[in-house]
Structure 1
Amino acid sequence: MTENLKFTEINTIPCLTWNWLKMNRASLEVEASSDIISEKKEITASKKGEVVYLPLAFEDGKRYEHEQVITAEENAEITVIMDYTSAQNAGGFSSIKTKLVARPYSKIHLVKVQLLGSNYVQIDDTFGECDDSAEINVTQISLGGARTYIQVKNELNGFASKFKSDTAYICENGQSLDMNYLVSHHGQKSDTKMQIKGVVGEGAFKVYRGTIDFKRGCAEATGDEQEETLLMSKSAVNKSIPIILCDEENVAGSHGATLGRLGADELFYMQSRGISEEEAKSMMKKAKVLAVSGLIPSQELREKIEKWLESNQ
């Protein structure tokens, strides 16, 4: 049995822009199994150096709801690695909610790698909150799936709290990728760094919303977000909206978005050395992903990503 799921508001930006741009929010309607496979995990770190690996296997035609609550107690450090995998042509629906709680002087490194089948639809929501001198790092790679919705929110509540994200993606062959990143600064001297690198190819549609919000009272806070997008096809559609909101005077924020194609000079240089146009494009796509996968503290998973890239070129 299946049912029709409707999500009217996904990835809503905090400060709305013109409706005709169609970037204020996303919506989704999808047919999914009425039988839900659900799982909830609570992970608490009380010391430094803890590493937890959470492999998530998805079967064809199934509907999943996963939820994780990851807490790092004071002075603790933990790395949690989540690996989403299914058969190459599998389809289904997945909803993932991950909450991160970083107590004073703690550190959480969350890794999410999405290698789902070509017919999967997924909503992936991550929410974090940092106390004094706490730090959350999110490393995320999205390669598979038909339609993927990623949201990452973080509340920098504490003094000198930090958030850092590194994201890589390949969106091609009719895929749709919708992303919303939002960091709210409350604590003084809090800091944000966000980097997004990816490729948008044939028939693909990608949206990126990135917001740094300086709240009143976050004096001396700093924030920077940078996006690099490589278009590989004339039929590719890319929409980006980097935002900085400010309600505090003594802060420093910057953002940038770079959009480009494989240049004629670059292509000529590669072809003069025996590299075909298709090989050149493949190399550029891999470079975007491998630059971020190098941050993953698991050689096995890094090799798995490389194999996926090789088999899907």
Structure 2
Amino acid sequence: MLKRIPWEGIQRPAYKEYNGVNVKDGEQEGIFIKKIDEDVISSFTTDKLFGIDKKLVEEVRKDYNTGFYIKISSRKEIKKPLVFDYIANSQNDLLLDYNVIEVEPYSKITVVFDYNSGEKGFKNGITRLIAGEGSSVNIVKIQRLGDGFSDFDNCLVEVEKDAAVSWSNVVIGAQVSAFDVSVYLEGESGSFTAKSVFLGVDSQVYDMSYRVYHHAPKTTSSVDLKGALKGSAKATFIGNIDIKKGAKKAKAEENETVLLLDKTVRSIAIPALYCAEEDVQANHSASAGQIDENKLYYVMSRGFSLEEARLLMVQAVLNPVIDLIPYDPIREIILRGHIGRRIIK
């Protein structure tokens, strides 16, 4: 992945402290939160492969300047979403966040990470999730950083028996943005579902990767990525499904749909399917195309301008996923602010 990133235009600020995170609804019963430290990191060492690149992962492990350990007690249903609001305030922020989420058996929680504002800076992070037996976990990651940011996100998801993980990435900011979500389905009947969206405009570069490893029988995974590109934006999607020996009756699917708003954009899909077991079901698909001219004309005939009609078409693709964001203030900002400004300008 590093070879596809335009590193010549990326500058990392000198190391400095970061104190721009707000935690909302963290006082609910069953939630334990503390700032990340070396003891936590040492307790959760792993030899599993994950991340955009080893160098970026090691950078966060060595130089992290913020992050949390979040533990959910067993058999607790957390009613309100737990929200981590990472705010970039200065003109050249450095954000290196390391977050570990441990959900004990038969608990249920939604966690939202919102990376926002700031004109220029560098963000690199690790998010590690351990979903215990029978748990239900919903993770939402929203990247709406300023146009001068470089953003990298390295994620490791471990799913135990009968656990269900839902994961969403909403990517609409930064000049360069890359994420990798590596998922290990380790317990029988564990499941992972990803529904993510992106919007690239001008010369933004996005690189997005999901890697799902089925290790146990009857595990299921579904990855659905939808996006739109405008101007000279470029997006690459890598989707790997790897069904290991012994993962009988595993089911996996992977889909990408991209709306091309200009002829100068580039959309690249690199799907891969590896299978060492016979009794499984797996498929993947990728499609990219321009707006249907007949539909565009129909919308304009109802009194909308060209840009307004294009916006409606983009919203039709992205909104079904954005509507799933379980935190109303952020959802409204994205729907009414970020997307509209980027399409109509």
The 2-side partners of 1:285 and 1:173 are apart by: 16
SS in 2 for 1:159: coil
Task: Structure 1: state its 5+ residue gaps.
Answer: 1-8, 11-21
Q: Which has the higher helix share?
A: 2
Deviation at 1:308, TM superposition (A): 2.2
Matches for 1:109-148 after TM superposition, within 5 Å: 109-148=138-177
Q: Corresponding residue for 1:55?
A: 85
Deviation at 1:299, TM superposition (A): 1.2
In the alignment of these two chains, the number of paired residues is 290
Q: Conserved in 1, the CA contact under 8 Å of 2:311 and 2:340? A: no
Q: Name the % identity.
A: 29
The 2-side partners of 1:278 and 1:40 are apart by: 40
Q: Corresponding residue for 2:310?
A: 281
Matches for 1:280-299 after TM superposition, within 5 Å: 280-299=309-328
The 2-side partners of 1:304 and 1:133 are apart by: 35
Q: Corresponding residue for 2:68?
A: 41
Q: Conserved in 2, the CA contact under 8 Å of 1:94 and 1:121? A: yes
The 2-side partners of 1:196 and 1:159 are apart by: 26
Q: Corresponding residue for 1:227?
A: 256
Q: Conserved in 2, the CA contact under 8 Å of 1:191 and 1:221? A: yes
SS in 2 for 1:158: coil
Which stretch shows the higher mean deviation, 264-273 or 71-80?
264-273
The correspondence for 1:153, drawn from 182, 194, 200, is 182
Q: Corresponding residue for 1:4?
A: none
The 1-side partners of 2:129 and 2:6 are apart by: 25
Q: Conserved in 2, the CA contact under 8 Å of 1:139 and 1:165? A: yes
TM-score, reference length from structure 1: 0.89
SS in 2 for 1:33: coil
The 1-side partners of 2:341 and 2:257 are apart by: 24
- In the superposition, relative to structure 1, how do residues 139 and 281 fare at CA in structure 2: closer, same or farther (>3 Å)? same
The 2-side partners of 1:311 and 1:263 are apart by: 22
Q: Corresponding residue for 1:309?
A: 339
Residue identity opposite 1:52 in structure 2: L
Structure 1 runs (4+) deviating above 6 angstroms are: none
CA distances 1:267-287 after superposition (whole Å, capped 9, x unpaired) = 222222222321111112223
Deviation at 1:49, TM superposition (A): 2.2
Matches for 1:248-259 after TM superposition, within 5 Å: 248-259=277-288
Residue identity opposite 1:67 in structure 2: Y
Q: Does 1:204 align with 2:184?
A: no
SS in 2 for 1:282: helix
Q: Corresponding residue for 2:28?
A: none
Q: Which has the higher strand share?
A: 1
CA distances 1:71-106 after superposition (whole Å, capped 9, x unpaired) = 11011111111111114xx01100011000011101
TM-score, reference length from structure 2: 0.81
